Amino acid sequence: MRLQNGSSETSLKEVKEFSEWILSVGDGNAGGPNEGEAEIKVSNDILIEGKSDPIATIVESTYPLLKDHLWEPKYFQEMAILAPTYEIVEMVNDYVLSHLPGEEKLYLSSDAISNVEGNLVASEIYSTKFLNIIRCSGLPNHHLRLKVGAPVMLLRNIDQTSGLCNGTRLVIKHLGNRVIEAVVISGSNVGDKVFIPRMTLTPSDATRFPIKFQRR
């Protein structure tokens, strides 16, 4: 976002240096040659002053007065929180959800071994309880907690003509038992009301798993 927002205040040289630094961090080259650990110097202008609760500090710095801007698409289009692990993602999500007004609704997935050739033995080895604890890219967790007003992001392409693609941001408007009503707040269909039905998904990176399973 900093790269996209380069203006007269940020010279092209500074943008270039910042982009190269970001790439060096991602590639593991920042801090010199290393074997997975290195000390990295971070510029003061992109640091958030630490407090007792770092998650709260990050959320409040990125989304000030969140509850007052839930239904404003531009508010979410201009800001995002990136996290290095699923655990941190869940900590951020739990914090935001706990500070939104309204009643929480819990959705539980139905997980099962896929009925495909060569997968019959797996169905006898892996229990449903084991499948429930699997967390992976492209799938919501077994426990999905939501509230009306919660900002969410699609993990899959559902209907590209309606703008429902992987990465599309929405705000929850109604939580039914088998369908979720939401408002699109990113892309070319901002403001559209959409309905997300219950559906069956498989891991997007199936090569990481020794078994083929599905989550509804």
Report the 3 state secondary structure along 89-102.
HHHHHHHHHHCCCC
Domain count of the fold of the chain = 2
Q: Do 60 and 26 belong to one domain?
A: no
Does 3 map to a domain? no
Does 162 map to a domain? yes
Q: What is the pLDDT of residue 118?
A: 57
Which segments of the chain are extended strands (E)? 105-108, 111-113, 143-146, 151-153, 169-175, 179-184, 193-197, 213-215
Per residue in 91-128, pLDDT (tens digit) is 999 999 998 989 999 999 999 888 765 566 666 778 88
Cα–Cα nearest to 114, from 126, 97, 104:
126
Per residue in 122-151, pLDDT (tens digit) is 667 788 898 999 888 788 899 999 999 998
Q: Do 107 and 200 belong to one domain?
A: yes
Does 199 map to a domain? yes
Does 1 map to a domain? no
Mean pLDDT estimate for the chain: 84
Does 90 map to a domain? yes
Q: Do 18 and 81 belong to one domain?
A: no
Look up residue 203 and give its two tokens. Answer: 């891991």
Q: What is the pTM of this model?
A: 0.73
Q: What is the residue range of 119's domain? A: 48-215
Q: Do 80 and 137 belong to one domain?
A: yes
CA distance 210 to 26: 28
Does 4 map to a domain? no
End-to-end CA distance of the chain: 34
CB atoms within 10 A of CB 154: 19
Does 39 map to a domain? yes
- The percent of residues above 90 in pLDDT, for the chain, comes to 28
CA distance 195 to 178: 10
- In angstroms, what CA-CA distances link 114 with 95, 131, 136? 34, 11, 16
> Which residue shows structure tokens 């896929």?
114
CA distance 167 to 144: 18
Q: Do 52 and 37 belong to one domain?
A: no
Q: Do 33 and 127 belong to one domain?
A: no
Q: Do 22 and 78 belong to one domain?
A: no
Phi-psi region of 115 (alpha: psi -120 to 50; beta: other; left: phi over 0): beta
- Secondary element (H or E) of residue 44: none
More confident residue, 126 or 62: 62
Q: Do 23 and 91 belong to one domain?
A: no
